[in-house]
Amino acid sequence: MKKVTGISGFLAALLALAVSCKKSSTDGPGPKPTDNTPTPLQWTKPSYFPDPVYDLSKNPLTVEGVELGKFLFYDGILSRTDNIGCGTCHQQQAAFTHHGHDLSHGVDDQIGTRNAPSVQNMAWNTSFFWDGGVHDMDMVPPVPIQNKVEMDERVGNVIEKLKKTPVAGAAKQVDYPKMFKAAFGSDSITADRMMKALSQFMMTMVSATSRYDYFLKGDASALTAQEKDGLSVFKQKCASCHTGELFTDQKFRNNGLVPNRINDQGRYTITLNADDRLKFKVPSLRNVGLTAPYMHDGRFTTLEQVLDHYANDKPGSKDSIYVSPTLDPMLNVAGQKRGISLTSAEKQSIIAFLKTLNDDDFIKDKRFSDPGVGTSF
Amino acid sequence: MQTSFYRNYMMKRTFSWLSAWALASGLLMFSCSFPDEDDDTDPIETGTIQLQFDNIVGDKDLQLDSTRYMNAAGEDFTVSKLNYYISNIKLIKLDGGVFTVPQDSSYFLIREANKESQKLTIRNVLTGDYTGIEFTVGVDSIRSVMEPDSPGRKGILDIYTGPTNEEAMYWDWNPGYIFLKLEGSSDSATTANGKYYYHIGFFGGRTERTINNLRTVKLTFPGQKAIVTTSVVSNVLIQADIQKIFNGPTQLSIKKSSALMFTDSTKYVADNYAGMFNVKEIKIK
């Protein structure tokens, strides 16, 4: 470092010292506050949910950040072909899944190998995707963006495209530099900010206003007698995996699905551990009545089919539970028929109960809706 | 010349923080910390060393796409892409002493299609006579599990922009760098498009233990020393023989494995390429 010499240098340094030391007592590191300081957004946890897993202190929600995240979520600019956004395969009316699609459907009509999972209550996820490969919400968006059969784009290129908005003559005039400035205080568009904004939006997507939630909060009339029966059977026979108020233990399990041509090895592809073969993440059952088709490959189109699989009771048909070394022990109890024993009435009541997890407010909430930049097919 | 990620990062930072406030806080750090005068009388002398990587096949310079080669299994192949990370560089002295290149300038992505990327310039090297080198092929677990927005993951390790993103040297669905990527065509390939793909990653796992394909390479300089002084720059030419990726301790067959990415067998590829490097010569400038 160059030495400051002479009286003038000394005085200048002294002045700088006085000014800067005083400043340090009030300001932390960060850009100078300006008129466009984003407005903090209060995030409240439903009282009966566990503490969130996502560290909101590293990415405090703001009105502008969430708004930016919503535009990014729906805008097809994230894809190579500029027409597939997150919202294309995560549609609100289907609790942010791809209604009618067993496997994900991406650019150039390409088909993936897994069913698009619901985007809801992301704040509580300990891992993401069917194989749990990603552990942090901020690292989720690049996966579909850079997947060849989903959005087939490079994040670096998305950033360049965002910087060039608004595009003259484009049908949708979105000014991302302006929105980034509103959300983060300066118009610098970076991947880190983009991921943070998307996370902010997805943090707000909390589903906790189903009829079941009203029942939990003390409204005994929110569920019918059959639904209450279903709840009690569910607790006995399903809740060891679909645990708690988020209805998942977040573990990876092999539920005995017969492998098909895709030959998806699930969690094994992440860990390369033979004990993880054919294991997939136990999904939350919130909004399950809206998210058909089911399973990691969307092989079942109705909840009846799902329960028939677990009950393993189709007369005359083959054993529906595929036996392999990693089959979940709860489906393979010694001395019992494989699967979970369920009567026909129990199945019906479980399904009646599961449908009380449908959250109409969540799927109609304008805060989560396409702001007019989305594409659906 | 490929600059270190830290250097790139600092440059970006400098531009984005070029405000009066940032300058003021810079002065604050200087003026309030009262740096010890002894810092200026540091007797340590440093110089520069260059590591020139040259990818070859057998005894010939590697040509992308245009040349068809034959591996030991008797299979023809071309190379359309070859990228690998070199990191955690250490220089070894005759007396066994080790100079560890500071972490902030010890990560590089060698790309066959980019000449500049093959020339590594390492500054602030302690002066002395070096007789060997050690480096990692890949990106260590510490960097791999850092938050993507942390300074240690910028520059060449930035997964969202720059060469790592452009070359897709990162698995985002199973977060981790792809240490080495080799692709090309072969009549023996069993893929629909006749291409083979070797993408070797896995740093040992974040939440659960996985295989670890990080490999450390230790090379001795052949009968020659790399001299580093304040004025003399040594240029160490390191050759990487692509044949050895197929033909090392384990002989690989493109027909048997046209794609090696997410399998245990990738460790054999890593073992093979760990042995593909040798120091050809040292030029003193």
- Contact assessment for residue A185 and residue A37, using Cβ atoms and an 8 Å cutoff: yes
At residue B41, the pLDDT reads: 52
Q: Which residues of A touch B212 (CB under 8 A)?
A: none
User: What confidence tier does B94 reach under pLDDT thresholds 50, 70, 90?
Assistant: confident
Instruction: Please indicate whether, in this complex, the C-beta atoms of B16 and A13 are within 8 angstroms of each other.
Output: no
The alpha-carbon gap from B10 to the nearest alpha carbon of chain A, in Å, equals: 16
Is pLDDT above 80 for B9? no
Mean pLDDT of the residues in chain B: 88
Instruction: Please indicate whether, in this complex, the C-beta atoms of A272 and B264 are within 8 angstroms of each other.
Output: yes
Taking the model in full, what pTM does it have? 0.82
At residue B17, the pLDDT reads: 36
At residue B15, the pLDDT reads: 37
Give the residue with greater pLDDT, B209 vs A24. B209
State mean pLDDT over A51-67: 97
Q: How far is Cα A112 from Cα A105, in angstroms, rounded to an integer?
A: 6
Is pLDDT above 70 for A215? yes
- Contact assessment for residue A20 and residue A13, using Cβ atoms and an 8 Å cutoff: no
Q: Which of residues 146-185 of A touch B (CB under 8 A)?
A: 146-147, 154-156, 159
Q: Which of residues 1-30 of A touch B (CB under 8 A)?
A: 1, 3, 13, 16-17, 19-21, 23-24, 27, 29
DSSP B22: H
Listed residue (B202, B206, B190, B219) closest to B269, CA to CA = B202
Mean pLDDT of the residues in chain A: 90
Is pLDDT above 70 for A203? yes
pLDDT digits (tens, 9 = 90+) for A135-187: 999 999 999 999 999 999 999 999 999 999 998 877 778 999 999 999 999 99
Chain A nearest-CA residue for B265? A272
The interface predicted TM-score of the complex, written ipTM, equals 0.76
Q: Which residues of A touch B262 (CB under 8 A)?
A: 269, 272
At residue A267, the pLDDT reads: 96
Is pLDDT above 90 for B3? no
At residue B77, the pLDDT reads: 98
At residue A339, the pLDDT reads: 96
pLDDT digits (tens, 9 = 90+) for A5-56: 444 444 444 444 443 433 333 444 444 445 669 999 999 999 999 999 999 9
Judged by a CB distance cut-off of 8 A, whether residue A59 touches chain B is no
pLDDT digits (tens, 9 = 90+) for B149-188: 999 999 999 999 999 999 999 999 999 999 999 999 999 9
Q: How many CB atoms lie within 10 A of CB B200?
A: 24
At residue B2, the pLDDT reads: 43
From B165, B166, B205, residue closest to A271, measured CB to CB: B205
> Which of the residues B8, B28, B269 would you substitute to probe the A interface, choosing the one with the greatest number of A C-beta atoms within 10 Å?
B28
Is pLDDT above 90 for B25? no
At residue B207, the pLDDT reads: 86
Q: Which of residues 133-172 of B touch A (CB under 8 A)?
A: 147-149, 158-162, 165-166, 168, 172
pLDDT digits (tens, 9 = 90+) for A316-372: 768 899 999 999 999 999 999 999 999 999 999 999 999 999 999 999 999 999 998
pLDDT digits (tens, 9 = 90+) for A290-306: 999 999 999 999 999 99
Is pLDDT above 70 for B28? no
Listed residue (B79, B114, B68) closest to B198, CA to CA = B79
User: What confidence tier does A377 reach under pLDDT thresholds 50, 70, 90?
Assistant: low
At residue B285, the pLDDT reads: 83
For residue A235, give Cα distances in angstroms to A240, A245, A250, A306: 8, 11, 17, 17
CB pairs < 8 Å spanning A and B: 113
Q: Which residues of A touch B30 (CB under 8 A)?
A: 1, 16
pLDDT digits (tens, 9 = 90+) for A272-290: 999 999 999 999 999 999 9
At residue A8, the pLDDT reads: 46
